[in-house]
Structure 1
Amino acid sequence: MTTVLAVANQKGGVAKTTTVASLGAALAGLGRKVLVVDLDPQGCLTFSLGHNPDRLETSVHDVLTGQLPLRDVVLDTDEGFALVPATIDLAGAEAVLLMRPGREFTLKRALATLDDDYDVVLVDCPPSLGVLTLNGLTAANAVLVPLQCETLAHRGVGQLLRTVTEVQQITNPDLTLLGALPTLYDARTTHSRDVLSDVADRYDLPVLAPPIPRTVRFAEASASGATVLAGRGNKGAQAYRELAGNLVAHWDDGADLRTFTAAE
């Protein structure tokens, strides 16, 4: 069975797209057949994987509006996994979907046509709680929340968790909340640890380990059209590989996900 993981946070700048790309590469490195879906009209995931959104003739927009089947828009990447790209046209898809009954199930129906061709589907939700994010959450088995380790980073987390609860009650009762993934983490400061402790206590939300460290490697990788795992070994790549291993053990064997401690 295909596992669909939505990566969501309505706050921008939390390394959400970096997480989808890097985790996809790490899972592919473990032998998983991976598909990533770009649901952000800005197309940052698409661009970071070496495809120019301005030059694409088809995208996830055509799938969500019923013009093309999902298989017809899938692209290959140099990272060993497949991509459903996004373009600015996706900004108009929300208006189209709002007029349709069952609009929250559009992506789920599209993914069902793949007949388990992939082991894992990662959905990069846009930085909002609109109909595109609802599609991602409704299609998913689980949701992961990247969380920047800085003051006020948790603003909006409560709203996102309420949205997850509503999705569980209305469109996807099987959706599970894996927890928050610490990003842009600086182990040299107590501030990062304090933010994560506050989030865990305030929202009773599991904080996953390992935390993803702040490193310039991520920006360099995105600019080159590759993930951080494509370069030489670094702490960021190591963290995502470890996270991927934890997730595979959780999905395959039911192992508990490793959670963050102040000693990280």
Structure 2
Amino acid sequence: MVSLMSSPANSSDREKVVSKLPGWLRQNLKIRAAQHGIEIQAAVEQGITDWCHLASSLSQVDTAGSSSFSTFLPHGQWEEFTRTASDRRVSLAQGLAQSVQLWLDTNPAPEIERSSITRRIIVCNQKGGVGKTAITAGLGEALAEDPNALHAVRVAKALAKALRASEVHEEHDGQEADPLDVENLPGLGQRVLLVDFDPQCHLTNQLGASPLPMNGDSLTNHMAGDAKGDLRDLIVSIDDEAFAGRLHLLPACNDAFLLDVRLSAVRAREAALERALAPLEDDYDVIVVDCPPSLGLSMDAAAYYGRRRDGEAPGQSGALIVVQAEDSSADAYDLLTTQIDDLRADLQVDIDYLGIVVNLYDSRRGYIATSSLQGWVDIKDPRVVGLIGDLKEQKEAVRVKKPLLSYAPKSQQAIGMRALAREVS
């Protein structure tokens, strides 16, 4: 039986109604409403209004397995709906299912926004061991996630809250984040290329791919003007249904240890990475480069690749700096920003800072960690755009060579990676 129950609602002009809806239709409604950025109750209200105004009923919707469904509607709308359902000789559950399906049919999933200029995100720091590779992978995965599914995301207000050491300490004590700080949002659905630009091949290995052989073709060869084939032939897909062919990897090769030496003989060497990757750009919305812990010519080429191009809005491309809450990261940060600032001045280009990610954070390490975190927050420009805890899920994902966001999609680190992707989008 379907019933009408009146109860106090959030607004005085609405009443609570309880009916039934099949689980698959409820899920489609939840996802589509989130995609359009509206409340579920607004979608149901519009669907019922449109259904009541139709000249006749629609095709039957399979309502097998329906369960209780409640929402808030304007006063009087449910009475009009029940009269219309009676006139059409359909049950209230069938009428509601038809109304929801009608709204879904008239409000298709929005198209993914594609930038006319492929965004280039350069993940960098001169210091090794800060977790650049984990951030590169997590960011790329979050950008590529399924836009027709909902994923847990830490909302912006929660980042500011998490920047307080006490909040992070609670998370590390094993407590769950406040559910009010987490929102279920559709994936971003971007086409993403991850570029392993580090001769140590960490990104390649973490994602379960094989480093390129020394006697074959590589990104290094293309940058040095000694290509042995099409760079596209080296790209591998990160096969996981969460990314549905949208996430690709350009593996590394150990020959990148010789890149700076080979670039020294190349004309306009700062543009070498751009020349190599430019033919691939039309295939992707975002290219994320995992840089080596180096201040050599290869870092110059990476920073130049992330410069702001003609017609590109500020903050679309640039450098994302990964640090830890300890003193040596601060020293490395100063060296890196000095190099980028010198490159800006020497070549007269704009290289934007997309922000700072404080990675592997654990407030239980005491004053050095908490005071260092405060030091990063105090910088303001670039601002802290991500705070990722030192938790076991990332290490486990690396051990089994799986993407973090498919291995542990509900983990605090995954939730933080999705927030980071939205902060830099």
SS of 1:154 mapped into structure 2: helix
Which residue of the partner structure matches residue 333 of structure 2? 157
Amino acid across the alignment from 1:51: A
Between the aligned partners of 1:97 and 1:54, the Cα distance in structure 2 is 19
SS of 2:193 mapped into structure 1: strand
Which residue of the partner structure matches residue 299 of structure 2? 133
List per-residue Cα deviations over 1:122-147 (Å, max 9, x = no partner): 01110011111111111013101101
Between the aligned partners of 1:77 and 1:171, the Cα distance in structure 2 is 36
1:243 aligns with 2:402: no
The RMSD of aligned alpha carbons is 2.0
Per mean C-alpha deviation after superposition, the further-off stretch among 93-102 and 168-177 is 168-177
Between the aligned partners of 1:115 and 1:121, the Cα distance in structure 2 is 8
Among candidates 389, 393, 402, match of residue 226 of structure 1 = 402
Correspondences of 1:206-225 after superposition (within 5 Å)? 206-225=382-401
Between the aligned partners of 1:145 and 1:65, the Cα distance in structure 2 is 26
Which consecutive unaligned segments of at least 5 residues does structure 1 have?
A: 249-264
1:84 aligns with 2:250: yes
Between the aligned partners of 1:204 and 1:121, the Cα distance in structure 2 is 26
Which residue of the partner structure matches residue 353 of structure 2? 177
Which residue of the partner structure matches residue 234 of structure 2? 73
Which residue of the partner structure matches residue 255 of structure 1? none
1:16 aligns with 2:132: yes
Q: CA deviation at 1:218?
A: 1.3
Q: CA deviation at 1:88?
A: 0.8
Amino acid across the alignment from 2:287: V
Answer 1 or 2: higher relative contact order, Cα 8 Å, separation at least 6.
1
Between the aligned partners of 2:328 and 2:250, the Cα distance in structure 1 is 32
Among candidates 346, 349, 373, match of residue 196 of structure 1 = 373
Amino acid across the alignment from 1:198: G
Between the aligned partners of 1:101 and 1:55, the Cα distance in structure 2 is 26
Which structure has the larger Rg?
2
Query: Does the aligned pair in 2 maintain the 1:15–1:146 contact within 8 Å?
Result: yes
1:63 aligns with 2:222: yes
Between the aligned partners of 1:206 and 1:133, the Cα distance in structure 2 is 19
Query: Does the aligned pair in 2 maintain the 1:199–1:205 contact within 8 Å?
Result: no
Between the aligned partners of 2:406 and 2:219, the Cα distance in structure 1 is 26
Among candidates 275, 288, 292, match of residue 109 of structure 1 = 275
- Paired residues, number: 247
Q: CA deviation at 1:214?
A: 0.7
Between the aligned partners of 1:26 and 1:190, the Cα distance in structure 2 is 32
Among candidates 32, 38, 46, match of residue 204 of structure 2 = 46
Matched-pair identity in %: 34
Query: Does the aligned pair in 1 maintain the 2:210–2:251 contact within 8 Å?
Result: no
SS of 1:121 mapped into structure 2: strand
Query: Does the aligned pair in 1 maintain the 2:355–2:385 contact within 8 Å?
Result: no
Q: CA deviation at 1:212?
A: 0.6
Q: CA deviation at 1:197?
A: 2.2
Per mean C-alpha deviation after superposition, the further-off stretch among 160-169 and 31-40 is 160-169
Which consecutive unaligned segments of at least 5 residues does structure 2 have?
A: 1-116, 146-187, 307-316
Q: CA deviation at 1:207?
A: 3.4
Q: CA deviation at 1:95?
A: 1.2
Q: CA deviation at 1:93?
A: 2.4
Query: Does the aligned pair in 1 maintain the 2:322–2:356 contact within 8 Å?
Result: yes
Between the aligned partners of 2:138 and 2:375, the Cα distance in structure 1 is 27
